[in-house]
Amino acid sequence: MARIVWKEGKFISIETRKGLYVLAQMTLNIYLVVYNNFRFDENWEESDLSNLEVLCCVPVTRQFIQKSTITNLKFKIEVPLNLPKYWLISDHISNKRIIFENTKNEIEVLLLGLGENLIYDDIKDRSNFDRPIVQKVAFNDNDIIDKYEVTNIRIYAEFNERLYLCYKIGKNVDPLKDLIFNRDIPIEYEVYLKIISGKITEEEWLALPI
């Protein structure tokens, strides 16, 4: 596998679960734009890339880049990027949740963060490190919660599984955000919960079907 070097504007193919790939683009620093384009192979030249739809834009760790199966793509597409300026940030309160309680799927998840504020943070302008709070976000403010990404830096295999769930459910979903905002958790998130709580090994996860 070729060494992956971060370069602004470069397109890459990321394997979510084994055999399912998603198109993404490196942007500023650690921010990755992921498009709503999935394939069961990496023949991206066969896809219609004339009207790319952004799925999400998130910061990712070096660990995510190093451990994920990523392919550098040679093509260049001019895509106008309107990078986010508003984000959800947690209050960093420890939050323990028991999911699927009193069922055979019951699992305990420990989170650092409960509820969030909406902040202004223009990631294209690093001259000002202030990130003013725009508003407090209530647990039932679904329009705001669904519209914006959390500031959490995403890791392997947590983010890979999130991307797989976006494909499976057919829209942009974020189990971490749903946990933080105390939302009802669907059974489709079970593997994600096992990943973040250390209840599944990497080998077991890699062997799962798509």
pLDDT in tens, 147-168: 999 999 999 999 999 999 999 9
pLDDT at 128 > cutoff 90: no
What pLDDT shows up at residue 1? 61
Q: 126 lies in a domain?
A: yes
pLDDT at 208 > cutoff 70: yes
Residues 67 and 92 in one domain: no
What pLDDT shows up at residue 75? 82
Angle in degrees, CA 134, 136, 137, rounded to 5 = 115
| Cα Dmax for the chain | 51
What pLDDT shows up at residue 80? 78
Residues 63 and 93 in one domain: no
**Residue of 188, 191, 210, 186 whose CA lies nearest to 202:** 191
Q: 94 lies in a domain?
A: yes
* Higher pLDDT pick, 94 / 39: 39
Q: pLDDT digit string (tens) for 51-97? A: 899 999 999 999 999 999 999 998 878 777 889 999 999 887 888 89
Residues 95 and 188 in one domain: yes
The C-alpha atoms of residue 30 and residue 16 are separated, in whole angstroms, by: 19
What pLDDT shows up at residue 14? 98
Q: 3 lies in a domain?
A: no
Q: Starting at the edge strand that comes first in sequence, how are the strands of the sheet with 21-26 ordered?
A: 54-59, 31-39, 21-26, 11-15, 70-72
What total of structural domains would you count in the chain? Answer: 2
Q: 128 lies in a domain?
A: yes
Residues 25 and 119 in one domain: no
pTM over 0.85: yes
Q: Residue 17: helix, strand or coil by DSSP?
A: coil
Domain that holds residue 202: 86-206
Domain end among 43, 72, 101: 72
Give 53's contacts (C-beta < 8 A, 6+ positions apart). Answer: 35, 36, 37
